[in-house]
Structure 1
Amino acid sequence: MKRKFPNLSSPITIGRTTFRNRLFSAPMGGTDITNDGCIGPKSVAFYELRAKGGAAAVTVSECMVHPQTDGSHAYHLDEKILNSLACATYTADAIYRHGAVPSLELSHSGMFAGTYMTDREKQQQLHQWGPCDSVRADGVRVKALTKELITKIVASYGHVAGLAKRAGFEMVMIHGGHGWLINQFLSPLFNHREDEYGGSLENRCRFAIEVLQSVREAVGPDFPIEFRMSGSEFVEDGYGIEEGIRIAQMIEPYVDIIHVSAGTYQKTFGITHPSMFEAHGRNVYLAAEIKKHVSKPVATIGGLNDPEQMEEIIASGKADIIYMGRALLADPFLPRKMKEGREDEIVKCLRCFTCMAERAATSTRRCAVNPLIGREIEGDEVRPVMQPKKVLVAGGGPGGLYAAYTAARRGHEVILCEKENELGGILKSEQALPFKREMYELSQTYRKLAENAGVTIRMQTEVTPEYVEKEAPDALIIAVGSSPVCPPIKGIDAEHVIQVTKLYQHRKSISDDVIILGGGLAGCECAVHLGREGKNVSIVEMRKNLAPDANVRYRPLLMQEIERYAKVYSGYTGIEITNDGIWCQNPAGEQVLVPGKNVICALGQKSNTEVVESLRDTALYVRVIGDASKVATITQAVYQGYHAALDI
């Protein structure tokens, strides 16, 4: 059979292990980790779904090899812990039964021990160990590992690798990047030792090589060992790609796959996990450079989700293997869809960091575009109903589309009505921002999924009480969205004032001097886009802080972009808009003019409550979702749409 993506679809054999394609599931930590470090049932289902979705290998993360010096609340594999091996075995089995290779990532946090602990007070009480005595940026003291402790940690890597093999894992990944302990030894940023483990690159690589030798002795000659490294650290006093190549060459004799990532912990988050402000595959060049100097297979990673781009990476020889993390949260079935030529059905990752923010804030997993994530144990298949009903969905935004798609999969007769001539709701506005293109395209993907499931879509059709009476549905899902907040500021109706949600309709008419009125998430992202176009951008925000509605992982990256591209007037209240700019009251109570020729109004949204109230009692089953219920996020809209449909 001729495949559309023949290189991505082709198997690769490493040692005696054959991987069914070139798409691997990157290490992602689970959530229900027991107090003694066992893998919980929710996490087993989490990893299993990636195997079911067609990934060739699924990496379970992170297993901390030496709890005595690394107290992180992560997985531990220890025959002394009741159920430790059993939980690991069930996890490996769950991955293997779907034809994927189960892999376990072996780690040591070193000076960042306790990073994943939910008990922050206990985290601060941990002893931190690293290559040398130092003080972390947050003031925590770090003690140098003695040679005796180094020897014990090296032995623990081998011991845990042997247990992983016994439990049924068929590969191990040694984490040597991102600022974890092995990287701390490799990096001149962290390693200032004066013995045989510091100084020259040969000495700095000694610990990594000893670890790999220990692992090889434990697992035998034909068991695949993968080494994850940062091709470049992208920080001052760290190493760059030139030294990254030499590190790869030095560890090559001891590994089977060289997995090239990027960056270092706490300093390069938006590079290690490329944000929407970065190009897809922005780190691929690191793998491509290293591949020129080694003979072992090389893996690459970093914001990749497009089969066309990934096919080219393999075809051109930049890498042999593609790893995906967030992309397989958004769509765990991406590999299967790729292999079956259904790439237009792939729900692409938005790189919004909802997944990582939720893990940091609530110790749960969540994806903005996939309501299954974190709840895989409930099953990934929508069960058909015994008695199909007629379902009417009012509104074609992300929540309405996902509700319609889900209801149709259950076997209901579903009609979705959108009063405008384009689906997407507020997502239509995102087409103005190149770095949010995937958010705009999401509605088109949801539309295809809905239509494939049997949904009838009626455009330019407003749902009124009379329309509901005419259609006589058994269930009505109200997803009529929100409208811009437009306060009574003098001049706000002028021609040169544009609502941020309508920016895409006025892109060619925006002057070079622009004021964004409102420093929330939408206003800040608009400012970044216009600043990148070379315009002079000012943000007027009455609150002290910008974008308080942005999540904890995304906001720092957004603020970095704001520093580059916009001038900020925080604590300024708009009083009057004129042709010369906006007259504001500053924090001192003075009236001042913020100059600009165009004003983009980004003062938030309000629910379309009147429409909701007119429809609330028009059917036996009525559910209000998304912004129509409460202005929030895509995440809330999609989750509410999914569950509203399941309840019918």
Structure 2
Amino acid sequence: MRYPKLFAPGRIGNLELPNRIIKAPTSTGMSNIDGSVSERLIRHYREVAKGGTGLIIAEYAYVDDIASKSAHCQLGISSDEHISGLTLLAETIKEQGARAGIQIEHCGRQKFLGTPPIKAASAVPWLALKARSGDKAIPEQLSIDEIAQIVEAFGDAARRAVAAGFDLVEIHGAHGYLITNFLSPHTNKRTDRYGGSFENRTRLLVEIIESARSKIGHAFPLTLRLSGTDYEPDGFGIDETIEVARIAESLGIDAIHVSGGDHHQMIHQVSPMSVPRLHNVWAAEAVRKAVGIPVIASGSITLPDFAEEILADGKGDFISLGRPLWADPQWSNKAREGRQEDIRPCIRCNDGCLDRTFFRFRAVGCSVNPEIGREGDLQVTPARQAKKVAVVGGGVAGMEAARVAALRGHRVTLFEKRSLGGVLQEGSVAEFKSDLRFLNDYLATQMDKLGVDVVRRRAEAADIVGRFDAAVIAIGGQASAPPIPGIDGPRVMDAIDVFNGGATPGRRVLVLGGGETAVEVALYLQQAGREVTILHRRDELMARDCTITDKISYGEMLARAGIEIITGLQATEISGGRVTAADRNGRTRQFEADSVVTALGYGPNRDGLAAALREGGGMAVYEVGDCVRTAKVYDAMHAGYRAGCRL
């Protein structure tokens, strides 16, 4: 076996686990509005539990009906009336061979819903929520009586989990939720017995553990999730986390699940691809050296090679996976079977699972897995009649359409004049975008394994008409070229050409644009030793369609790099190495540079092929991806998937 450590049996308390892989408790937004278990949630967890993961910790469940609920359609465990549905959830997970756990939580100041009441240790708001909801996002400081009620609510929630048949309960003491609000000096400004000293700040957690143990006994597996640090300058560091872990062990906690960050420092909690992989494993290693109970490591452990290395190096006893099991619920089975190349990789884009979920009040989605959240509704099924299908374009949308079509039994030919990957090739050149390489490798591998015939040239209508029954056009987008005098000059080059090596900028570079591509090419060139300035006509960089974690991460990277950013100026003329720009009032400024790199947006590529095929008649023609509307990996992957299902 390639991963002997990963697939060795393990134990948490008296709970035997078949392997060392644990599904992290990630919220789906698929429960009913009252927190009860929905049929959709059952279908989802049935598929996840089929994947071979040893322990499934179902998503965080709120413990009371006062102020603990964080998100829309969140799972609840606040009432005995929840037990019936939770029993079905636990049974469904266990019927597939996995162990079933559940996490219990109080959101504290981090209430995505933004609705009152919001209760926390002190009146310190989550700044992103305050920017959206105003003063109503400022939490009310909990009274002593309210704290006592919450302690009881946690104990009652643990009791309900046992009654529902779960094998394990986890207390959520991480990620900036209520327990962390008390642990961290950043959010705890109290002067009573719950604030100030380390002993006082840990008092709530101690009382919650004691309450849970009093109601479920000392034999039932009880774990605690902690942030190694909240990454706040005035916050909670690893030394205090280690002491908390030791206290928890003494109180009967059976394992420590180590993560990091809070919602203000979200890039450390849900790290984007610009943050190194295995981001919080260092903290798990530090805690493991200090306690005698198992430690669960987490944080961007996207592939089994990474997981095996962590276990082999003694940095953790178990591996926790959140987003990777949304990207591919069969992650564990494929790793055990030695099919790691078939694992659909999480690219840590945080688009479907975070931005389109929590910030848009939708159920969970995934950029690379269109089926997640649509289990039993959206799935690949055999075609009623096998067809000869032409796919034109080997980017994300084209390869996904080809993959699904081939799985359904169609004979697929894919035309691509370049190497497979489309703009994934340019998009993954920078090291801070390297997760995209895993997706490209996965899709290209599937083309080979599924017998897709890849033709390495441009497709013409004559290559397709009369030879195929259907065609999918996925030829991508093209750079926008606004009518700026001099934009076609010899010192001007497009960002895509910079990434693919088709253009080499000089020492001083002026980047025109302020979207993600502009920021990424600026950072890439600065890391390559160039002096870079960004010139953007809007007042804010990355203002449109950029995930919250990319905004945070890229903002920090730009600040560290010392890249000059000039906003509110529109380039009006390029002459040699001189760019003239004007503000809204017509006042002009001039900038000197050796090279000008444009990243001014991209539009659909309408080369006429789809129209020509339709005119030829006799075949269904589908256009997908950037050739229809330039968007993100999420949109391209989902469009390709649906096209493959329609054929």
Equivalences for residues 15-34 of structure 1 within 5 A: 15-34=13-32
Distance (whole Å) between structure 1 residues aligned to residue 614 and residue 48 of structure 2:
40
Residue identity opposite 1:19 in structure 2: L
- CA 1:485/1:334 → structure 2, altered by over 3 Å: closer, same or farther? same
Distance (whole Å) between structure 2 residues aligned to residue 197 and residue 189 of structure 1:
14
Q: Is the 8 A contact 1:176 1:183 kept in 2?
A: yes
- Residue 202 (structure 1) shift: 2.3
- CA 1:629/1:67 → structure 2, altered by over 3 Å: closer, same or farther? same
Matched residue SS, 1:377: coil
Alignment partner, residue 75 of structure 1: 75
Alignment partner, residue 193 of structure 2: 196
Alignment partner, residue 107 of structure 1: 105
Alignment partner, residue 58 of structure 1: 56
Q: Is the 8 A contact 1:353 1:551 kept in 2?
A: no
Residue identity opposite 1:392 in structure 2: A
Cα deviation digits, residues 375-405 of structure 1 (max 9, x gap): 123265x221232111111111110100010
| Mapped pair 1:333 → 2:330 | yes
Residue identity opposite 2:186 in structure 1: L
Matched residue SS, 2:571: strand
Residue identity opposite 1:458 in structure 2: V
Q: Is the 8 A contact 1:30 1:46 kept in 2?
A: no
Q: Is the 8 A contact 1:78 1:85 kept in 2?
A: no
- CA 1:508/1:249 → structure 2, altered by over 3 Å: closer, same or farther? farther
Distance (whole Å) between structure 2 residues aligned to residue 581 and residue 405 of structure 1:
48
Alignment partner, residue 485 of structure 1: 480
Residue identity opposite 1:184 in structure 2: N
| Mapped pair 1:521 → 2:512 | no
Alignment partner, residue 463 of structure 1: 459
Q: How many residues align?
A: 631
Stretch deviating more after TM superposition (399-408 or 359-368): 359-368
- CA 1:454/1:93 → structure 2, altered by over 3 Å: closer, same or farther? farther
Distance (whole Å) between structure 2 residues aligned to residue 185 and residue 633 of structure 1:
39
Residue identity opposite 2:637 in structure 1: V
Matched residue SS, 1:616: helix
Alignment partner, residue 546 of structure 1: 541
Distance (whole Å) between structure 2 residues aligned to residue 581 and residue 90 of structure 1:
68
Residue of structure 2 aligned with 1:596, choices 590, 593, 596:
593
| Mapped pair 1:646 → 2:641 | no
- CA 1:144/1:8 → structure 2, altered by over 3 Å: closer, same or farther? same
Alignment partner, residue 118 of structure 2: 128
Distance (whole Å) between structure 1 residues aligned to residue 216 and residue 183 of structure 2:
24
Q: Is the 8 A contact 2:389 2:471 kept in 1?
A: yes
Q: Is the 8 A contact 2:64 2:78 kept in 1?
A: no
- Residue 555 (structure 1) shift: 4.7
Cα deviation digits, residues 180-209 of structure 1 (max 9, x gap): 111122222223334433333223222212
Distance (whole Å) between structure 2 residues aligned to residue 497 and residue 206 of structure 1:
62
Residue of structure 2 aligned with 1:562, choices 541, 558, 562:
558
Residue identity opposite 2:512 in structure 1: L
Cα deviation digits, residues 60-99 of structure 1 (max 9, x gap): 2221112224354532225553xx2222122112221222
Normalising by the residue count of structure 1, what TM-score does the alignment of the two structures yield? 0.92
Alignment partner, residue 535 of structure 1: 530
Distance (whole Å) between structure 1 residues aligned to residue 538 and residue 188 of structure 2:
43
Distance (whole Å) between structure 2 residues aligned to residue 231 and residue 240 of structure 1:
7
Q: Is the 8 A contact 2:398 2:472 kept in 1?
A: yes
Distance (whole Å) between structure 1 residues aligned to residue 575 and residue 175 of structure 2:
50
| Mapped pair 1:512 → 2:507 | yes
Alignment partner, residue 264 of structure 1: 262
Distance (whole Å) between structure 2 residues aligned to residue 134 and residue 312 of structure 1:
40
Structure 2 gaps of 5+ residues are none
Matched residue SS, 1:6: coil
Provide the identity percentage. 31
Distance (whole Å) between structure 1 residues aligned to residue 614 and residue 2 of structure 2:
48
- CA 1:512/1:310 → structure 2, altered by over 3 Å: closer, same or farther? farther
Alignment partner, residue 607 of structure 2: 610
Structure 1 gaps of 5+ residues are none
Q: Is the 8 A contact 2:577 2:596 kept in 1?
A: no
Alignment partner, residue 162 of structure 1: 159
Alignment partner, residue 43 of structure 1: 41
Alignment partner, residue 226 of structure 1: 223
Residue of structure 2 aligned with 1:93, choices 91, 94, 98:
91
| Mapped pair 1:586 → 2:583 | yes
Distance (whole Å) between structure 1 residues aligned to residue 588 and residue 141 of structure 2:
57
Residue identity opposite 1:75 in structure 2: L
Normalising by the residue count of structure 2, what TM-score does the alignment of the two structures yield? 0.93
Distance (whole Å) between structure 2 residues aligned to residue 593 and residue 135 of structure 1:
43
Matched residue SS, 2:427: helix
Distance (whole Å) between structure 2 residues aligned to residue 162 and residue 609 of structure 1:
61
Equivalences for residues 177-188 of structure 1 within 5 A: 177-188=174-185
